[in-house]
A and B are shown apart, each in its own frame.
Chain A
Amino acid sequence: KNEVEQSPQNLTAQEGEFITINCSYSVGISALHWLQQHPGGGIVSLFMLSSGKKKHGRLIATINIQEKHSSLHITASHPRDSAVYICAGATTLGGGTSYGKLTFGQGTILTVHP
C-alpha cells in the first residue's frame, strides 16, 4: 500500500524563524506534491517534485529519491505562512499509468506568531 508519513503534526514558530516540514513516502510513489491550505480556504499546490530541489520565494522543497524523503523549508517565516501544509505522493499504477492519483500525508499545522 502506498503511504505518506509527515512530521511534525503541529509546529509553532516565531516570526523570522526557519521552518522545516518532513515527508517520507513508500515505494510506488514517483512524484511528491506539497500543498498549502489556509484556515477555511481551499488547497493550493506549492510544488511538484520528482528529483532535486525547487524554490519559490521563501519556500524551498527538496526530495531525496534514494531515501524516499522530501522536505519543505520556509525561510524568514511570517504569520501569513500559518496554514496546513500537506505532502502527497503521486502513485504509479501498473504499466506506469497513474492518472495523477495522490496519496496524502496527515498534514502539518503551522502557526507562526508575530
Chain B
Amino acid sequence: DVKVTQSSRYLVKRTGEKVFLECVQDMDHENMFWYRQDPGLGLRLIYFSYDVKMKEKGDIPEGYSVSREKKERFSLILESASTNQTSMYLCASSLWRGSSYNEQFFGPGTRLTVL
C-alpha cells in the first residue's frame, strides 16, 4: 500500500514564526501536492511538484514556499506564519503517467493553529 506520512498531526505556532510541514511518500511517486482545507472553502491547492527540485504554484501560493530536494519528500514552508494560515494542511502524491488519470494518495493531515 502507498503510504503518505506527514510530520505532525497537530501543530501550534505563533504569528511570525517560520513553520515547516514535512511530507514523505514511500511509493516512488513523481507528483506531490500540498493542499489546505477550510470549512466552506473545501480543498485548495497551494503548490505541487512533478519532479525533484521542480515546483509549480497552485491556486493559493501566497505566503507559502515549498522544497523538494529528494523524490520522496515535499516540504511546505510558511516563512512568517499568520493567523489566516490556521488550517488543515494535506499532502498527497500520485504516480506520473503523463495523463489525467492519476489516483492521488493523501496523508493524514496536519492541523495547524497560528496564535
A contact residues around B58 at 8 Å (CB): 101
CA distance A97 to B96 in the complex (A): 10
CA distance A90 to B101 in the complex (A): 8
Produce 1/0 per residue, A24-55, CB < 8 A to B. Answer: 00000011010100000111110010100000
B104 near A86 with CB under 8 A, answer: no
Bin the interface of chain B by size: 20 to 34
- Given A99-B56, A100-B94 in contact, is the A45-B104 Cβ separation under 8 Å? yes
Produce 1/0 per residue, A59-101, CB < 8 A to B. Answer: 0000000000000000000000000001010111000111111
Q: What is the count of residue pairs linking A and B with beta-carbon distances less than 8 angstroms?
A: 66
Total contacting residues, chain A, CB less than 8 A: 27
Q: How far is the CB of B105 from the nearest CB of chain A, in Å?
A: 7
Residues on B lying within 8 angstroms of A by beta carbon are 31, 33, 40-45, 48, 50, 56, 58, 90, 92, 94, 96, 98-109
Q: Pick from A35, A43, A98, A105: contact of B100, CB below 8 A.
A: A98
B contact residues around A106 at 8 Å (CB): 40-42
B contact residues around A98 at 8 Å (CB): 99-100, 102
A43 near B90 with CB under 8 A, answer: yes
A42 near B42 with CB under 8 A, answer: no
CA distance A92 to B100 in the complex (A): 7
